[in-house]
Structure 1
């Protein structure tokens, strides 16, 4: 044990596979890159392996971070500044990669449907239960045609189809006019939630705050979910709405907020609470809310 940084654990559904970030050089043999790497601890096998490697097992030549693991523990998705994890990586940007623990294959996720590597940094990702669909945020402008809003957007990469789809759009496919971040994806990969300061993703968004939206990739419907049970947006002074987390079946989105006009915590100044958002938002029971920051 020991080391200066070991953090960001993410766990498979059965709790047997744990991916994490570490700069320790004694977890696996041959770790000499002096960089943050992604490791997996397999509790059943009693093994620790490094997954921020190329398909031949060569270690990354840049730092890797922010892992997420699929429900069955087979796939690990992570971001990396490395330029040697896949062939043809021109480097210079943080990309998203997926490592298959069963086959050892590492592939680039932050690419267009035509195979063009993203021309901007890509960030925090989320993975469907089977590991096929990965949602991520990116400042790249070449992942889909017509991305000209000069904002960080949300995309979904479908590995089996080889397709990349822009998710942070309105129901009429209008590009968001604000920055989008922190995606979450349902188990089947059909529903994506994300945080955005855009005011044009739904009609009537006038609170000039970050909101949480839900995009249905099957129907193409984008819905504002960070509203109270009466459908009102947060408008109180200094209100903040933080990242949402979509449920495995995609029907619920948990939203963190300190909006006092929603009366989430009996009027306690600065308190944060959780709202469960559905087609009609449902507040969690009062006894689940604290009296301060969480």
Structure 2
């Protein structure tokens, strides 16, 4: 029986614009992610507007729009058993929301309650904080507030969005465990800065370490994008006349580091470390910044092309689909073009080839190519920026139909793409009923599954949730793929149940465990720190960079040669975000909570080149 999803006519009418309700009020699109449905089962869900969604398979489905400022509630109407609903009620904000319905027969996904302790707030002051689920908490006095529940095993992030001044946040990001967390926000006018090394711009463990360069700043060096406002850097630039490796960094920030930045939405910036000049990437032809949030920039090897996702509607003409889309910007002509604005559902998570000619991305649209008609499942696509062709990659080789895939990574010439999927229809013999990582290759009708053990067997589930998100990375030459898992039967399998990093050699099936020290002892903590976090890898596949909370791998942020084992410790303490690495592995960029650049008293996005 084919997979079927029914949506109420009311939802469809609103989405297509035949109902004027949302044309009068700002609205936010909601999605429903359903997991754990088995063959032959049907489940139905209903929202407080009377709209229904029915499905007979796991997947992510569009629920339609909700008016911002109103209350939303999604409940289960019927089904074989009760599903565990998460994030299914609250107040609608401008942030798109994914409601989770765990319909598995096993125990529901556990939740951990978080609190926010604010101090240093004076009479008449208001401060507002926001989590990565779109929930806001506003306070006008020092107190402890309930932030609600977070799903264990997923990432959490709490940032400050409003206030008389910037508060110092602690314990505000990481992976949700069973331990109750109280996020600390010190909003005092003065606070004690933790002690730093005598020369914080130099890594004391590396004789050839260069200074840290704060890139999340304005050209006049007066405005800075602190860690709470900035993230997801991408580094580009290859050695050429007047250009050094890692000279260009793209990043996301809500700080007004550019005159045309509206200071309200998250925007994409491009920074030239050679001359301190910057450019607003997420802007329309009139130079104005995007009217809604933009995320996840990626950059070509030469640093001249940046791809990103955005909810903005003013970056290009005729962007009327009211969902997130994939865009790209080119330095030479300072123009923004859209890859998916004709799509009828959201597109995001772009990755760009080193040559800047290809963009791989994920989308739940069912009108981008053939093979996805009537299908609301998220699939992986590859777009040719020269011809405009879009290719469906995550498809059943027997039927040609899209069966689901996410978080792609593309090689330098666009000939190979790695992505992850829960589907068992992409290759023969997939029987572990878990996520796997696949590699698509141009000219080869068959995908390769690379997330196998060192002896070619299927891996076990380890300590992972049924809805784990995994973000693989493929090397520029297309020969290596990095990923992280807690599986216990991988190469030289550790028994400590920590998340470990593996590098799969695509053509041979060889598997390398990277999160081990010089003696071959596996890390005694999670690597990387966040669940399924990307592990950047150089073009030749020899160098990787990653975060770790292991105490036996040399630091909290390291750069490692997976062939020779050479390891460079970049940071040993502080809050560190997901890093990125340059083409030849000589430079990295990363978010940090410490003030690493002694020229500026600010946290933010830093770049550092490890070799002279």
TM-score (norm 2): 0.43
Shift of 1:29: 1.3
What is the alpha-carbon root mean square deviation over aligned residues?
A: 1.8
Shift of 1:256: 1.8
Deviations 1:8-41 (A, max 9, x none): 1111111221111111111111111100011111
* 1:258 partnered with 2:549: yes
- Structure 2 SS opposite 1:250: coil
CA separation in 2, counterparts of 1:229 and 1:217? Answer: 25
CA separation in 1, counterparts of 2:402 and 2:431? Answer: 14
2:330 alignment counterpart? 42
Structure index of larger Rg: 2
2:503 alignment counterpart? 214
Shift of 1:277: 4.3
CA separation in 2, counterparts of 1:187 and 1:20? Answer: 19
Pairing partner for 1:96 from 370, 373, 380: 380
CA contact (8 A) 1:170 1:222 kept: yes
CA contact (8 A) 1:210 1:241 kept: yes
CA contact (8 A) 2:379 2:403 kept: no
Shift of 1:253: 2.6
- Structure 1 SS opposite 2:546: strand
CA separation in 1, counterparts of 2:422 and 2:493? Answer: 26
- Structure 2 SS opposite 1:182: coil
> How many pairs are equivalent?
276
CA separation in 2, counterparts of 1:109 and 1:215? Answer: 20
TM-score (norm 1): 0.88
1:225 alignment counterpart? 514
- After superposition, residues 45-124 of structure 1 pair within 5 angstroms as 45-52=333-340, 59-89=342-372, 90-114=374-398, 116-120=400-404, 122-124=405-407
Change (3 A) 1:19 1:112: same
Shift of 1:85: 0.4
CA separation in 1, counterparts of 2:398 and 2:510? Answer: 25
2:433 alignment counterpart? 150
CA contact (8 A) 2:545 2:557 kept: no
Shift of 1:128: 0.5
- Structure 2 SS opposite 1:261: coil
CA contact (8 A) 1:230 1:281 kept: no
Change (3 A) 1:167 1:95: same
Change (3 A) 1:290 1:42: same
2:292 alignment counterpart? 4
Change (3 A) 1:224 1:292: same
Pairing partner for 1:189 from 473, 478, 490: 478
Deviations 1:142-169 (A, max 9, x none): 0001111111111001122232110100
1:136 alignment counterpart? 419
* 1:176 partnered with 2:462: no
CA separation in 2, counterparts of 1:129 and 1:83? Answer: 28
1:23 alignment counterpart? 311
Question: After the TM superposition, which parts of structure 1 deviate over 6 Å for at least 4 consecutive aligned residues?
Answer: none
1:268 alignment counterpart? none
1:269 alignment counterpart? none
CA contact (8 A) 1:118 1:142 kept: no
Shift of 1:95: 0.6
Shift of 1:66: 0.6
CA contact (8 A) 2:503 2:511 kept: yes
Unaligned segments of structure 1, at least 5 residues: 54-58, 266-271
1:33 alignment counterpart? 321
1:241 alignment counterpart? 527
Change (3 A) 1:115 1:126: farther
CA contact (8 A) 2:358 2:414 kept: yes
Deviations 1:57-80 (A, max 9, x none): xx0000011101111111111111
